[in-house]
Amino acid sequence: MDYASILQLLDSTIRLSTPLLLACLAGLWSERAGIFDIGLEGKMLAAAMASATVASLTAAAPGWSLFGIELTWAKSLLSPVIWGLIAGILASVIFALIHGVASITFRGNQLISGFALNFIAAGLTVLVAQRVFGQGGRTPQLAGDARFPPLTLPLSDEIREIPGIGPLWYEVISGHAILVYVAFAIVPLTWWLMYRTRYGLRLRAVGENPAAVDTAGISVIRLRYSALIITGILCGIAGAYMSTALQAGFGRDMTAGRGYIALAALIFAKWRPVAALWSCLLFGFFQALALRPDIVTAVVQFRVPGPILDSLPYILTVLVLAGFIGKATPPRAGGEPYTKER
Amino acid sequence: MQPLPKWADLVLVPLISLALAFFVAALVILAIGESPWFALKTMVQGSLMTASGWGHTLYYTTSFIFTGLAVSVAFHAGLFNIGGEGQAQLGGLGVALACLYIPWPHWSLALLGATIAAAAFGAAWVAIPAWLQAKRGSHIVITTIMFNYIAASVLMFMLVDVLRPIGQQDPSSARFPAEVLIPRLNQIPGLDLLFPRTVPANITLFLALTAAVLVWLLLWHSRTGYHIRAFGKSPGAARYAGISATRITMIALLISGALAGMMSVNNVLGDAQRLLGNSAAGAGFIGIAVALMGRNHPVGVILAAFLFGFIFQGGSELGFMTAIPIEMRVVIQGLVILFTGALDMMVRMGLERVFPRAANPAKPTTAGAA
Nearest residue in B to A126, CA atom: B327
Say whether residue B351 is in contact with chain A using an 8 A CB cutoff: no
Residue A341, pLDDT score: 66
Rounded to the nearest angstrom, the minimum Cα separation between A268 and chain B is: 11
Q: Is A314 on the interface with B (CB under 8 A)?
A: yes
Looking at residue B186, what DSSP letter applies?
G
Query: How far is the CA of B4 from the CAs of A106, A293, B18, B211, B295, in angstroms?
Result: 17, 60, 18, 32, 16
DSSP secondary structure, A271-307, as one string: T-HHHHHHHHHHHHHHHHHHH-HHHHHHHHSSPPPHH
- What are the tens digits of pLDDT across the range B22-55? 999 999 999 888 899 999 999 999 999 999 999 9
For residue B2, the model assigns a pLDDT of: 53
pLDDT category of residue B226 using cuts at 50, 70 and 90:
very high
Please indicate, yes or no, if residue B243 is contained in any of the structural domains. yes
- Subunit contact A120:B334, Cβ cutoff 8 A: yes
Where is average pLDDT lowest: A61-65, A161-165, B272-276? Answer: A61-65
Is B18 in contact with B336 (CB distance < 8 Å)?
Answer: yes
Asked whether A140 and A250 are in contact (CB, 8 A), the reply is no
Q: Which residues contact B138 (CB under 8 A, 6 or more apart)?
A: A318, A321, A322, A323, B129, B132
Nearest to A228 by CA among A330, A110, A123, A86: A110
In angstroms, the CA B328 to CA A161 distance is: 55
**What's the whole-number mean pLDDT along residues B246-251?**
94
If pLDDT is split at 50, 70 and 90, which confidence band does A308 have? confident
- What was the pLDDT predicted at B369? 38
Residue B202 sits at φ, ψ, to 5 deg, of -145, -175
H-helix segments, B185-234: 204-221, 223-233
What is the number of structural domains in chain B? 1
A3-321: CATH topology: ABC transporter involved in vitamin B12 uptake, BtuC (1.10.3470)
User: Nearest to residue A111, comparing CAs of A342, A318, A330?
Assistant: A330
What is the pLDDT at residue A302?
Answer: 79
A262 contact residues in B (CB cutoff 8 A) = none
Q: What is the spatial distance between Cα B248 and Cα B73, in angstroms, rounded to a whole number?
A: 11
Asked if residue B149 belongs to a domain, the reply is yes
Q: pLDDT value at position A327?
A: 63
In a domain, B338, yes or no: no
pLDDT at B1: 47
Contact, B302 vs B72, CB < 8 A?
Answer: no
Q: What is the mean pLDDT of residues A273-300?
A: 87
A328 has pLDDT over 70: no
Given a cut of 80, whether residue B315 has pLDDT beyond it is yes
Q: How confident is the model at residue A72 (pLDDT cuts 50, 70, 90)?
A: low
What is the mean pLDDT of the segment spanning A282-291? 87
Between residues A294 and B239, the one the model is more confident about: B239
- Residue B357, pLDDT score: 59
Query: Best of B80, B125, B153, B328 to disrupt the A interface by mutation (most A CBs within 10 Å)?
Result: B153
Q: What is the mean pLDDT of residues A206-214?
A: 91
Among the listed ranges A207-216, A301-310, B44-53, which one has the minimum average pLDDT value? A301-310
Closest residue, chain B, to A253 (C-alpha):
B327
Q: What angle do CA B257, B260, B266 make, to 5 degrees?
A: 145
Between B232 and A2, the higher pLDDT residue: B232
**DSSP per-residue string spanning A79-106:** -HHHHHHHHHHHHHHHHHHHHHIIIIIS
Beta bridge partners of A66: A69
Give contacts of A315 with chain B, Cβ < 8 Å: 146, 150
Over residues A273-288, mean pLDDT: 91
CA distance B334 to A315: 27
Q: What is the mean pLDDT of residues A122-128?
A: 93
Q: What is the pLDDT of residues A96-115, one digit of tens each?
A: 999 999 999 998 889 889 98
Question: Mean pLDDT, to the nearest integer, of A74-93?
Answer: 88
Please report the pLDDT score of residue B358 as a whole number.
47
* Identity of the amino acid at A187: V
The reply to whether B277 touches chain A by the CB within 8 Å rule is: no
Does residue B171 sit in helix, strand or coil? Answer: coil
Distance CA A237, CA A247 (A): 14
Least reliable range by pLDDT among A26-30, A62-66, B190-194: A62-66
Tens digits of residue pLDDT in B266-299: 999 999 899 988 888 889 989 998 998 898 999 9
Beta bridge partners, A177, equal: A150
Cα gap B280→B265, rounded to integer Å:
11
Instruction: Nearest by CB to A126, from B327, B334, B345: name it.
Output: B327
Q: Span B59-68, mean pLDDT?
A: 96
Helices A40-60 and A3-32, axial angle in degrees (round to 10)? 110
Calculate what percentage of chain B has a pLDDT beyond 70. Answer: 95
B318 found inside a domain: no
B52 near A CB under 8 A? no
CB-nearest to A137 from B28, B154, B325 is B325
pLDDT (0 to 100) of residue A44: 96
Distance, CA of B186 to CA of B195 (rounded, Å): 5
What is the per-residue pLDDT for A305? 79
* Cα separation values, A322 from A308, A328, B136, B235, Å: 20, 10, 6, 22
Establish if B327 belongs to a structural domain.
no
Question: What pLDDT does A138 receive?
Answer: 87
- Are A340 and A111 contacting, i.e. CB atoms less than 8 angstroms apart? no
Residue B366 has what DSSP assignment?
G
Residue A323 forms contact with B (CB below 8 Å): yes
Residues of B in contact with A107 (CB under 8 A): 345
For residue B131, pLDDT over 60 is answered with yes
The stretch A154-180 carries a mean pLDDT of: 77
Reported confidence tier of residue A23, pLDDT bands at 50, 70, 90: very high
Mutation for testing the B interface, residue in A36, A260, A321 having most B CBs under 10 Å: A321
**Average of pLDDT values for A62-74?**
61
Mean pLDDT of the region A28-42: 93
List CB contacts (< 8 A) between B132 and chain A. Answer: 318, 321-322
> Is residue B106 in some structural domain?
yes
- Please give the residue that has the higher pLDDT: either A63 or A17: A17
Q: A255 in contact with B at a CB cutoff of 8 Å?
A: no
User: How far apart, in whole angstroms, are the C-alpha atoms of residue B63 and residue B290?
Assistant: 11
Dihedral sign (CA A75, A78, A84, A89): negative
Taking the C-alpha atoms of residue B293 and residue A39, their distance in angstroms, rounded to an integer, is: 20
In B, which residues are within 8 Å of A131 by CB distance? Answer: 32-33
Whether B325 is in a domain gets the answer no
> Which residues 76-135 on chain B approach chain A with CB closer than 8 angstroms?
80, 82, 128-129, 132
Q: Is residue B353 part of a domain?
A: no
B146/A130 CB distance under 8 A: no
CA distance B332 to A119: 9
pLDDT over 90 at B313, yes or no: yes
CB neighbour class for B95 (10 Å; exposed up to 12, middle 13-18, buried from 19) = buried
Q: Which residues 92-131 of A are in CB contact (within 8 Å) with B?
A: 98, 101-103, 106-113, 115-124, 126-128, 130-131
Which among B348, B129, B100, B105 has a CA at the least distance from the CA of B250? B129
Specify the higher pLDDT residue, A148 or B301. B301
User: In this complex, which of B156, B325, B338 lies closest to A120 when CB atoms are compared?
Assistant: B338
Residue span of the structural domain in which B269 resides: 65-299
Cβ B108 vs Cβ B166: under 8 Å: no
pLDDT band at A135 (very low <50, low <70, confident <90, very high): confident
Strands A69-70 and A65-66, by their bridges, are: antiparallel
Nearest to B329 by CA among B344, B309, B351, B346: B309
Enumerate residues 6+ apart whose C-beta is below 8 A from B193. Answer: none
Q: Is the pLDDT of residue B361 over 60?
A: no
Q: What mean pLDDT, rounded, does chain B reach?
A: 89
Cβ A124 vs Cβ B31: under 8 Å: no
